[in-house]
Amino acid sequence: MIRQATDADLKAILTVQRNAFGEEDEAELVRKILDDASAQPTLSLLAFDDDGLPIGHILFSKAHVDGASAFLLAPLAVIPEYHYKGTGQRLMKEGLKLLKENGTDLVFVLGPPDYYPRAGFKNNAKKLGFAPPNPIPRQYDDAWMVINLTGTQATGQVRVCDAISAQEYWSA
């Protein structure tokens, strides 16, 4: 089951993030994004196993591209026992569906270039006319991806919320 997260789910969200990445960094990033007024509105989804235990989380935060409605996907987390079982893809599919229903044009992600295209993301958003919020190393150009949910013709500089705008998040 997948549902939108509420404020009461914060502890579960942070636990999923910690378990998925084996460290505190992503959990702290999620906390920062959720507390960041420039990230609003966000879309936060939790996935649960058959016993109702949280096993995955995805966060979309408001981004900006002139002439379009945009979001950034970051981070996506699935606890290790549920890797390779489609949880991450289901979270992305549900999130993208909800964003499209709410009029979002574009969704961006910086991540593994062989994973996100399975959900429809196009590699190398720079070549498609979308400059990342900060410079990224050339070898990671294919990791900067976009999905165009509405067919908008908008292009340009992508601006993200304050919590994830620091260069450290863009220099893999």
Stretch 74-95: mean pLDDT: 97
Q: Which residue reads 């991450």 in tokens?
A: 88
For residues 2 and 58, give the distance between their C-alpha atoms in angstroms, rounded to a whole number.
Answer: 10
Q: Supply the pLDDT for residue 171.
A: 78
- The position carrying tokens 């942070």 is 14
Confidence label for 143 from pLDDT (cuts 50, 70 and 90)? very high
Long-range contacts formed by 121-124: CB under 8 A, 24+ apart: 121/145, 121/146, 121/147, 122/146, 122/147, 122/148
Tokens at 112, concatenated: 């593994």
For 87-135, write each residue's pLDDT tens digit: 999 999 999 999 999 999 999 999 999 999 999 999 999 999 999 999 9
Over range 134-141, report the average pLDDT: 93
Please, what is the average pLDDT of the chain? 96
Tens of pLDDT, residue by residue over 54-64, are 999 999 999 99
Q: How many helices (H) and strands (E) does the chain have?
A: 3, 8
Record the pTM: 0.96
